[in-house]
Structure formats: structure tokens, C-alpha cells
Amino acid sequence: MVYKVKPYQKFRILFYSKVNSTNQVARQFAEQGEPEGLLVITEQQTAGKGRCGKHWFSVAGESLCFSLLLRPVNKNPEQCPQLALILGLSLAQTMEKVGFQPQLKWPNDVYLNGKKIAGILLESMVQSDRFQWVIAGVGVNLNVKRESFPQMLQESATSLFIEGKKEIIADQFLQKFLSIFSSWYGNWRENDQAQHLLAEYSKRSMVLGRIVTHEKQGKRYQARVERIDEYGGLWLIQQGKRYRLSWGEISLIMDDQPQI
């Protein structure tokens, strides 16, 4: 069942009691020509997707799962990592407003006390080197109880409820997020100046100065993170040689100490 909810911050909100994937629903609207600003949210997501084809775990009534339909038609695919930074930073700043101190793991994860608390999945359509649409899927472990997590996730994932010992009202959290995101996104749409975005993101980064591992062309590499550039790319240094990742999955070496 689907309900139209009163618009907020220029977003038209569709609430579904149950869907396979909010990204899938939003994508269908995008392909039908729906304008920018649609937000698809659900009480229960049965086949949520994470990056690299992974399953995104969620709990009905305890997780916050939604997708935004965006049409940044003046931007090119090289600028997509910037959008991931905007979404991650907006989530982090929203959590700060309700009393938490999260960290950001490049390119699109949010952590709290060393455990994953939120993730972002971007899907897009490009024509003539310009975005036709972008679907930004967001999953937040809002009020998930520890016993609700599968055994395999109990040591690596957490929720705002677990960390704060109190329930977070989903509507209020979402409204705070949309207000923050709208400001960052509107500024990004209007100009190409990313210095302030980069500075705010970098302050909350958990990977700068750290040794990470990543896969490239079927091989596993280990390098130290040097910086995040204005396009959202990650610069690493390995044996004196610097190179850049525009996207990808990285893992922290947990006993490593940051060097900034």
C-alpha cells in the first residue's frame, strides 16, 4: 500500500508499507520522467541493496530506508563522488544534531564508535556525458535493537538506539536530514566550488592518514590514505607512489594509527 505524505522541503514523499527496494521504486519513476524531488520511503524493505551487489539488512519499524530521485543534469559522471560526499556529510550532520559524533568512511558509509550505522547507494543514468537522473538510496540503523541484527553483524553494525539508549523519531530525523541535504545539494547544483564541502567531510573522515586495503583489477593492495580531492576521489600513497581511486571498496587496517 502506498500513501502520499505532505511535501517537505520541496520533496514529494511517497510512503510504502512494504517494497522490495526503494531504489527500484524510485528508478521506475525516474524512467517514466518523474521530476526531481521525489522521495520514496518504506516501513519494510525486503530486498534492499548495498554497494557491489551486497544485501542491505533492515528491520521493519526499526530501520530508516528511503531513496531520493535527483536530476543534476548540469553535472557529469566524474562529479558523482561529490554527491556521495554530500549525502554522507548530511547524514553525519543530522546525527550530530541529535547528539552523536559519527565518522565518515569513504566513499559512502557512516560509522559510529567504529561500527557501521548507515550506508548510501547511488544509481544513475547518463546521456551525452550528463546525468539524466540519480537515485540516492539511504539506509540508517535508526532504532534497530542489538538482538535484531544477525549474529554476523552484531560486532560490525550498530544503531542510534544502541548507542544512545533511546528511540529516535524517524520523521524528525528525516526532516532534519532533508533540510541539511537540500542546502548542500542546492549549493552543489549551482556552482562547482567544493572546498567547504571537502573541509567539512574531511573533518569527519575516519580514513585520512590510515592504512587501507582495496582491490584493483583483481589484485589486493595496501596503501595509506593521503587526502580526498575536490572531485571526491581518494588519493593514496604506496612506497612513495601516489595514485587515485574515484570509487571502490576500502577496508581499514584496524590496528593502524592515523598519520596526518
Place 55 in a pLDDT band, splitting at 50, 70 and 90: low
pLDDT tens-place string over residues 231-244 = 999 999 999 999 99
pLDDT score for 56: 67
pLDDT tens-place string over residues 156-194 = 999 999 999 999 999 999 999 999 999 999 999 998 778
Length of the chain: 260
Q: What architecture is the 211-252 domain classified under in CATH?
A: Roll (2.30)
CA atoms in the 13 A half-sphere facing the CB of 126 = 11
Distances (CA, A) of 72 to 56, 77, 191, 232: 26, 10, 12, 16
pLDDT tens-place string over residues 75-118 = 988 888 999 999 999 999 999 999 999 999 999 999 999 999 99
Structural domain spans, the chain = 2-203, 211-252
Q: Is the pLDDT of residue 52 over 60?
A: no
Which has the closest alpha carbon to 144: 163, 166, 159?
159
Which residues pair with residue 11 across a beta bridge? 8
Inter-axis angle of helices 195-203 and 170-190, nearest 10: 140
Task: Name the phi and psi angles at 69, rounded to 5.
Answer: -95, 115
Bond prior to 107 in cis (omega within 30° of 0) = yes
The amino acid occupying position 5 is V
Measured at the alpha carbon of residue 218, what is the angle toward residues 214 and 222, in degrees to the nearest 5? 30
Place 201 in a pLDDT band, splitting at 50, 70 and 90: very high
Q: Please give the model's pTM, rounded to 2 decimal places.
A: 0.92
Domain covering 2-203, topology? BirA Bifunctional Protein; domain 2 (3.30.930)
